[in-house]
Chain A
Amino acid sequence: MPPLELLLQQTLNGVMLGMMYALVAVGFTLFFGVLDVIHFSHGDIFMLGAFAGLSALLALAAVGLRTPFVTLPLAFIAAMVVTGLVGVMAERVCVKPLARSAPLMTLLATLSLGLVLRESVLIFYPRGADPKPFPQLLPAGGFEVGGVAIRYENLAILGIGLAAMVAVDLIISRTKMGAAVRAVAQDPEAAQMMGVNLDRTVDATFFLGSALAAVAGMLSGFYYGEIHFIMGITGGVIGFSAAAIGGLGNVYGAMVGGLLFGLLQTTAAAFIPRGSEFRDVVAFAVVMLFLIFKPSGILGEKSVERV
C-alpha cells in the first residue's frame, strides 16, 4: 500500500491537472449543448490562449511592467479577449454554416480548422517549433502539511481555476445571457420564440468557452513551465474525453469529468510501474471503457436517442 503522503500528493496534483482539463471540458460541453456540435478545434484554441497569454506577458515585460500583481490580471484578460474573439471567428466561419448539415462535416471542418490554427502558430510565431518557456510569475516557495509539499504556485493555480469555474457557474445560472444559453441548449426554436437572439447567444457561448480555454492554457503554462504548439492536440482530446465522461451538455458533468481525468492520470503515473509513460494510455483506456458502458456519461447527456 503506497504511503499516505504519496497518495495525498498525487491527489493534489490530480486535482490541479483536473482543474485545467475541466476548464477545457466546459467549453466542449457548452458548444455541444448550444449547437449540438463537437468543436474539435477547441484544443487548439486552448493552445492559442496559452500563446496569447505568453505574448501578452512578454509584451508587458518589454514595456517595463514586471510586477506580477499587475501583469497577471492584464495578461489573463488580454488572452481571454483575444482567444474569445478567435473562438467566435471560428464559430462564424466553420461551425455555424455547417451546423445544419451532417455531423461529419462539422467534425471534419473543425478538425481542419484546428490544424490551421496549429500550423499558423508553428509558422508565424517566431521559432514556433520550439517549446516556449513560460515566465514563472506565480509566488514561489511553499509549505509542508503532514509530509505533503504544497507550493504556493499550486495553490494559485487551484485558486484561479476555481474562480474561473465559479464565474462560469454564476454566468450560466444567474445572468440573462446564461439563461439564454440554457434555453438554446434545451430547444433553439422555442428559445427564439421567447425572444432569444440565437446568433448572439451562440457567439457569446463560443466567446465564453474560448476564454475559459485561454485561462486553462495560461494555467497549463504556469504549471508545466513551458508551452508547445502541439499541446492543443492532447489538450483537446483530453478535454473532449472529460466532457464525454461527465456527460456532454452538462456543465457540472464537464467539471467532474475533468477532475476525474486528472486524478486518473496522476494515480496511473504514480502507482503503475513505468506509469509515467503509459499514463495517457491508461487514462484513454478508461475513457474508452466509459464510452462503451456508459456513453451518456456520469451526470447524463443532454439528450438520448435510441433506436
Chain B
Amino acid sequence: MILVWLAEAALFVLIVAGILAERPLTLAAVALAIVIAGALLRLVTPLRSTLARAFGRHRTAALLGGAALALVLPVTLRSSPYWTFVATLALLYVTTGQGLNLQIGTAGVINLAGAAFAGLGGYSVGLLTVKTGWPPWLAAAVAPWVAVAVGTLLFVPILKTRGHYLALVTIAFVFIFNILMNNLEFTGGPQGIKNIPTLRLGGHAFTARLTLFGVDLPAHANFYYAALATAGLTTWILGRLHDSWLGLALNTLRDDEIAARCCGVSLTREKLIAFSIGNFFIGLGGALYAVMVGFVSPPDFDFGYSLIMLSVIIIGGVDSIGGVVLGACLLLPLPERFRFLHEYRLLLYGLVIVVMLLYRPRGLWPAGIRGYR
C-alpha cells in the first residue's frame, strides 16, 4: 500500500516539476529524472511486476491516493493560473472523452460530431442564461439534455445504417451546426454569446479567488474542483456502465452485429442508449466550458475539436476508461508545455494517431479483458 502511494507521489512530483520548471538547469534535471524513471520501469522487470502487483492488490488505496493528489494539484500550481486553466480544460476533455468513448469505443457508434454536441451544451447554457435569465447552475444541468434530445431526434433513423454512413452523417451534422450557429441571429452569429454569468455556490462566485485551508488559490481553481468533481463522477458512472451487462451488450454489438442480434441484443435500442448517454456527457463538458470561459462562439465547436476529442480516445485507448483519462491528461498539457511546437500541433496529432493506429491500435492504456469474479 505504501509502495502504491510512494509511486503515485513520485509521479506527481515529476509531473508538477515538469510543468513548473522554468530555468534550463531545472528543466534538464526534470527531463533526466523522467527519462530515468521511464527506463527503470521499462527495463527493470522485477520493479515493474512488483508495482503492477501492488496496484492490483490495493486498488482502493491507489484511487484514494490519486484523488488526494488531484485535490492537491491546484495548490502546487497556484503560482500559475494558466496551468490551473489547462488542468481544468484537461478535466473537461476527460468528461467529454468518456462520453465519446462510450459511443465510439464501447458501442462502436462512430460519432464525429463530438464538437457539435458539446456546442449544443455550451450554446444552450449561453442562450438559457443570457437570453432567458436562468441561473447558471440550472442551465448547466439542463443543457446536456438538449444535446441528448437533438442527438436522438436526428439520429434515430440513421442508427440502423452501416458505420461509415453514420460517420458521414455526423460530419455533415458538425458542418450544419457550425453554419447554423454562424448565421442565425438568435445564436449571436459569428460573435457568439458573451457574458455568460459564472456559477455561484452559496454566494461564492466562481470567479473570485478561493482560499482553502489558508492557501490562496487563483480563481480558476474553483472551476478546477468543479471539473474534477464532474470528471470523477463521469468516470465512475461510465466505468460502472462499462463493466455492467450494458457494456457487455455494447461490446458485442460493436464486434459483430449479426452475432449480437442472435444473442438477443436489440441493435437500434442499444445503440440509441449508448448514443444518448454519450451525448449527455459530451454536452455536459460543453456546458461547463461555457460557464467557465464565459462566452461561446462558432469556432469553439468546429470539426477540428471533434478530431481532438477523437485523438484523446485513440491515444489513450479505445473503450478504456483509464485510457481516456490518460489521453486527456497527455494531450492537453503537452502541447501547452511545448509551446514552440504549437504551430505543428495538429500535424503532430495526426501523425501520432496514424502511427498509433498502425502499431498500437489499442492505445497507450488498453482496455483490459473483462474479468468476472
Chain A contact residues, CB within 8 Å of chain B: 38, 93-94, 97-98, 101-105, 107-109, 111-116, 118-120, 123, 233-234, 237, 240-241, 244, 274, 277-278, 280-281, 284-285, 287-288, 291-293, 295, 305, 307
Contact = CB atoms under 8 A, between A and B. Distances in A.
Interface in B34-89: none
A225 B173 CA distance: 28
A284 B176 contact: yes
B343 A123 contact: yes
Q: Which 9 A-B pairs have the closest CB atoms?
A: A115-B350, A119-B347, A116-B350, A112-B353, A284-B172, A292-B157, A112-B350, A38-B164, A109-B357
Nearest to B260: A307
A237 B257 contact: no
A94 B165 contact: no
Given A116-B350, A123-B343, A278 B179 contact: yes
B347 A307 contact: no
A291 B154 CA distance: 12
Interface in B341-373: 343-344, 346-347, 349-351, 353-354, 357-358, 361
B331 interface: no
A94 B352 CA distance: 13
Contact of B347 (A93, A104, A123, A281): A123
Contacts of A94: 354, 357-358
A101 B359 CA distance: 12
A112 B239 CA distance: 28
Interface string B216-240: 0000000000000000000000000
Contacts of B361: 101, 105
A291 B175 contact: no
A111 B267 CA distance: 26
A120 B347 contact: yes
B55 to A, nearest CB: 29
Given A98-B357, A112-B349, 4 more contacts: A107-B164, A123-B344, A237-B171, A240-B168
A284 B169 CA distance: 8
Contact of A281 (B171, B180, B311): B180
Contacts, number: 120
A307 B350 contact: no
A93 B173 CA distance: 29
B104 interface: yes
Contacts of B257: 307
Contact of B310 (A108, A116, A234, A284): A108
A32 to B, nearest CB: 8
Nearest to A283: B172
Nearest to A234: B175
Given A237-B168, A284-B175, A111 B307 contact: yes
Contacts of A123: 343-344, 347
Contacts of B346: 115, 118-119
A172 B130 CA distance: 59
Contact of A105 (B157, B173, B176, B357): B357
Interface of B: 104, 108, 110, 112, 154, 157-158, 161-165, 167-169, 171-173, 175-176, 179-180, 182-183, 257-258, 261, 267, 303, 307, 310-311, 314, 318, 343-344, 346-347, 349-351, 353-354, 357-358, 361
A146 B10 CA distance: 81
Contacts of A295: 161-162, 165
B83 to A, nearest CB: 26
B357 A291 contact: no
Contact of A280 (B165, B175, B344): B175
A61 B278 CA distance: 54
Contacts of A241: 168, 172
B2 to A, nearest CB: 41
Given A119-B346, A281-B179, A285-B176, A97 B167 contact: no
A299 B175 CA distance: 26
Residue among B104, B112, B162, B182 with the most chain A CB within 10 A? Answer: B162
A222 to B, nearest CB: 25
30 contacts: A38-B164, A93-B354, A94-B357, A103-B163, A105-B357, A107-B110, A107-B163, A107-B164, A107-B167, A109-B353, A109-B358, A111-B307, A113-B350, A114-B350, A115-B307, A115-B347, A115-B349, A116-B350, A119-B346, A274-B183, A277-B182, A277-B183, A280-B179, A281-B176, A281-B179, A281-B180, A287-B168, A291-B169, A307-B257, A307-B267
A241 to B, nearest CB: 6
A209 to B, nearest CB: 16
Contacts of A291: 158, 161, 165, 168-169
A233 B174 CA distance: 12
Contacts of B154: 288
A244 B358 contact: no
A116 B176 contact: no
Residue among A112, A241, A277 with the most chain B CB within 10 A? Answer: A112
Nearest to A236: B171
